[in-house]
Structure 1
Amino acid sequence: MLSIIIPANNEEAFLGACLSSILASDSPACPVEIVVVANGCTDRTAEVARGFESRAQARGWRMEVLELCQGDKMRALNAGDAAAHWPWRAYLDADVTLSPALLGQLCKALDGPKARYASGRLRITAQGWVSRAYAATYRRVPFMARGVPGCGLFAVNAAGRARWGKFPDIISDDTYVRLLFRPDERINVAATYDWPIVEGFAALVRVRQRQDRGVRQVAALFPDLMANDDKAKLGVPGMLLLAARNPVGFAVYSAVALAVRWRDRGRAGAGAGAGLPDWSRGR
C-alpha cells in the first residue's frame, strides 16, 4: 500500500535509472504503485516513463504517467497525490536511485498506527572534482551524517500524511514535511539511496542559495514547525575537525557558503526579498 510519487521536469537523462532502481527492488511486503508526474517538460521525460509501464505490470504493480503543462514541483506533487491510490506515500526526486532493500525497509518502518516519517541512508554522489570535494565535506556535516534529512526521498504512512493537506506553494517540500514530525517520529532505515548533487561551483552556489532560502521561508511561514528542528550546529570545533579531515573539501564547501552569503547580501541590497521563492535549478 505504498504509492511512489515522482515529480519530473525535463528529467529524460535521469528518470530511466531512477525507475530501473525502483523496479529492481526486493519484493516489499506491501502493494506498490508508481506515479510519475511530468510537469512542464520539453524533452522525452513522459515517453521514458511510459517505457517502464510493462515492467511495472510484470511485477503486479500499478503505474501511471501524468503530464502537466506547467513546470511546478508543488503542483506536480499535489497532482501525484490526487492520482495515488495507496495511503502510504513516498516522494522521490527523478534523479535518485534506490538500493534493492530500501523499499521493503521503508514499508516496515511505516507499518503501524502512529505517524511516521522515514528515509534511507543518503549517499551523496558527484562527478566533477569540485562537486566531489564539496560532497566529501557535505556528507560529514552532522545533520547529513546523523539526522534524517530526506533529501530526494522521504516517505510517510497514512497517519503521517494526514498531517498536511495539499503541498503549499513553497521552495522546500522536504524541509516542510520533515518538520511536521518530531525527531522521535523520524526513522532512518539502513538501506541506502544515491542522491546526486549538481556539477560545478556556480551550480553548487545556486542550489545552496535556494536551499537556504527554502529553509528560511518555512521558518517564516510556519514558525511553529521550528520546534521540531533538531539540526545540530557545526560550531568552531566541528569546522576545525572537518578542515583537518579534508582540507580541500572543506575549502570548497566554505567557498560555496561564502559565495551564497555574498549573493544574498547583494540581493538584499538590490531590494529583493530574501524569503521569496527562487525557482533556479542547478541543471
Structure 2
Amino acid sequence: MTPRVSVLIPAHNEAGYIGDCLQAVFASDPLPEGMTAEVLVLANGCTDATAALARDALPPDGWDLQVLELPEGGKLGALNAGDAAARGDILIYLDADVLVSPGLLPQIAVALDLEAPRYASGCPQVSSARSPVTRAYARLWMQLPFFSSGVPGFGIFAMNRAGRQRWGNWPDIIADDIFARLKFAPGERVRVPASYSWPMVEGFRNLVKVRRRQNAGVSEVAAKFPQLTRNEDTVKASAGTALQLLLRDPLGFLAYGAVALAVKTPLFASRTRWTRGR
C-alpha cells in the first residue's frame, strides 16, 4: 500500500502565521510517486481567525486539508485529537509559525518510508529578528553544538507509525518535542538536508521567559521519564568552545549569557506553565 503523509499543525491564535505556514507546506516539492498527503490544522481554543484562514488555504492536487476546531486550548490535547484523526503512515508535527523549504516534507517522507521505527527532522534556520538583542542571542545560539549536530527537532519533527506506537496519548508536559525525540535512540533519528525557518521571540524579556520554559521542559522530561535520558546525545559546549565563541562574537556571548543568568532569577517570572513569549 502506498504510504500517506499526515502533517499535523497545532494552532492557538495563530492568525498571523497560519496562512504563510500552509502556503509553504502546499508549495512543497512533489512527494514520492504515489504518495498522498493530508494536513490537519488543530485550532485549539482560538479566539481569532486562525480556523477561518486555514480553511481558506487551497491545497494542491494530492493534498487534503482538514481544520479541527477544538474548544479548549492546549497543545497536548490538540496533538492527541490530531493523532486520532490522522490517517497517515508518516506523521509530521509542525508548529504554525514555522516555514518549511520546498524539499523538506518530501525528504522526511522518504526517510520515514520504512517498517523500522524512525524519527526525522530538517536543518533549522532562525528567522531574521527585529530586536538587536534577539539577533545577537540567535547568532550565538546557532553556533552551539546541539544546533549544528544531531537532530534537534524544535519547530518540526516527524516519525513513522512504527515509531509513534511507542507511546499512547501525549503526556501533559511542556516539551513535547524533547519527549518525542528521546523516544528514539540516536541511531534511529535522521536529519535530512532540507531546511526550515523557525522564529525566535523578540526582546530580552521574551527570551528570558521562553528560555525559562524550555529549561523547565527539559527538567520535567528528565524527572518524569528518566529512562529517556539514555537517548540524549546533545553535546554541551566545552570551556574551550565557550572561549572561542566569546572571542568570535562578544556581543552574542553577552546576550546569551545575560539571558541564561536572568533565567536563574525571578525576573519576568510567569504565572503560566507554558508561554510562547509573544
Structure 1 residues 1-283: aligned runs within 5 Å? 1-29=4-32, 30-52=35-57, 55-56=58-59, 58-125=60-127, 126-263=129-266, 278-283=273-278
Residue by residue over 1:72-119, the C-alpha shift from the partner in whole angstroms, topping out at 9 and shown as x without a partner, is: 000011111111111210000000001001111001110111111000
1:140 is paired with a residue whose SS is coil
Residue ranges of structure 2 left out of the alignment (5+ in a row): none
Kept in 1, the 8 Å contact 2:6–2:88? The answer is yes
Kept in 2, the 8 Å contact 1:171–1:277? The answer is no
1:42 is paired with a residue whose SS is coil
Q: Distance in 2 between matches of 1:60 and 1:190?
A: 24
- CA-CA distance at 1:127 after TM superposition: 2.6
Residue by residue over 1:23-43, the C-alpha shift from the partner in whole angstroms, topping out at 9 and shown as x without a partner, is: 000011121100001111111
More helix by share: 1
Q: Distance in 2 between matches of 1:143 and 1:258?
A: 20
2:260 is paired with a residue whose SS is helix
What is the percentage of aligned positions where both structures have the same residue? 50
Q: Distance in 1 between matches of 2:248 and 2:61?
A: 45
2:16 is paired with a residue whose SS is helix
1:178 is paired with a residue whose SS is helix
The answer to which of 255-264 and 30-39 deviates more is 255-264
- Equivalent position amino acid for 1:204 in 2: L
2:110 is paired with a residue whose SS is helix
- CA-CA distance at 1:124 after TM superposition: 1.1
Which stretches of structure 1, 4 residues or more, deviate above 2 A after TM superposition?
none
Task: Name the count of aligned residue pairs.
Answer: 272
Q: CA RMSD in A?
A: 1.6
Residue by residue over 1:8-49, the C-alpha shift from the partner in whole angstroms, topping out at 9 and shown as x without a partner, is: 001000111110000000011121100001111111000110
Q: Distance in 2 between matches of 1:193 and 1:247?
A: 27
Q: Distance in 1 between matches of 2:264 and 2:238?
A: 18
Q: TM-score, normalised by structure 2?
A: 0.95
Q: Distance in 1 between matches of 2:163 and 2:206?
A: 34
Q: TM-score, normalised by structure 1?
A: 0.93
